[in-house]
Amino acid sequence: MLLNCDIGESYGAWTMGLDDQVMPFIDQANIACGFHASDPLVMHNTVRLALQHKVALGAHPAYPDLQGFGRRPMVCSPEEIHAMVLYQVGALSQIAAAQGGRLSYVKPHGALYNDMMRNEAVLRAILGALSQTADKLALMAMTTANNQSLKALCAEYEIELLLEAFADRAYDEEGYIISRSHPGAVHNDADVILQQVMAIARGDAIQTVTGKPLYLEADTLCVHGDNPESVAAVRFIRQALTEKLA
């Protein structure tokens, strides 16, 4: 079970996230590419930090919306999405290559991620872009109770799929995470988070908000490095995974 984290979300004079503190504990860095956050110099520095810690490099492309941090749903055509994913992946890829690094996967960000999970045309636009990269970059996407159609589409484009689950989010019966606007959507209790992490890691069921068992197939867990509390949670999760799964 790997840990992935959104990284490199500073922009110009603005700093966001405790990247240097969380980097030692994660396996995969979802690196912002300048459309929802970051700029070329921030990307350069972020790649350097990730390479120092031998963390896998992933592109984290988004809709072009700095002001809205890529979280605002925006209606873009499949052609626009295809081109914007290639653009962002290419930019990060070149900055990484300049330091001897290679990207290994792509995780769409924010509203683009959500749209990809619900709209097949968006998913196909992204997969089409990935299938045109030299390394056939893998796609990181959300695991749910039923990953059949997601897997089928990735297979159609010959793209490896990395399924991610969330350590600190409550799930509904279909395996979708509960919207942050609902109470109880985010787990804050360390024991609850740990229990969910270990269940997913062992292949056991977690409990949905309605109290039903839910089995989630996952390759990686999404964690956060926004603040000292979330960094502490990542250290805690990393330690638990290392010790208890050993």
Kindly list the residues in this chain that would bind its own copies in the complex (CB under 8 A): 10-16, 34, 37, 39-41, 43-44, 64-69, 71-76, 79-80, 82-84, 86-95, 97-98, 111, 129, 132-134
Q: Which is nearer to its own copies, 116 or 165 (CB)?
A: 116
At 60, phi and psi to the nearest 5?
A: -125, 70
Q: 211: left (phi > 0), else alpha (psi -120 to 50), else beta?
A: left
CA of 153: how far to CAs of 158, 187, 220, in Å?
A: 8, 32, 20
Is there a contact between 61 and 33 (Cβ–Cβ < 8 Å)?
yes
Residue 51: CB minimum distance to its own copies, A: 14
Residue 212: CB minimum distance to its own copies, A: 30
Q: Which is nearer to its own copies, 42 or 161 (CB)?
A: 42
Residue 64: CB minimum distance to its own copies, A: 6
What is the chain's Cα-based Rg?
Answer: 17
Question: Look-up: residue for tokens 């399924």?
Answer: 163
Is there a contact between 233 and 186 (Cβ–Cβ < 8 Å)?
no
Q: Which is nearer to its own copies, 101 or 175 (CB)?
A: 101
Residues with Cβ within 8 Å of 172's Cβ and at least 6 positions away in sequence, in order, are 178, 208, 209, 210
Residue 82: CB minimum distance to its own copies, A: 8
Strand partners, 17: none
Residue 129: CB minimum distance to its own copies, A: 7
* CA 66/CA 115 separation, integer angstroms: 18
* CA 199/CA 207 separation, integer angstroms: 10
* CA 19/CA 10 separation, integer angstroms: 10
Q: Which is nearer to its own copies, 2 or 86 (CB)?
A: 86
Q: Which is nearer to its own copies, 70 or 175 (CB)?
A: 70
Q: Which is nearer to its own copies, 186 or 198 (CB)?
A: 186
Residue 125: CB minimum distance to its own copies, A: 11
* CA 14/CA 91 separation, integer angstroms: 21
Q: Which is nearer to its own copies, 98 or 245 (CB)?
A: 98
Residue 183: CB minimum distance to its own copies, A: 19
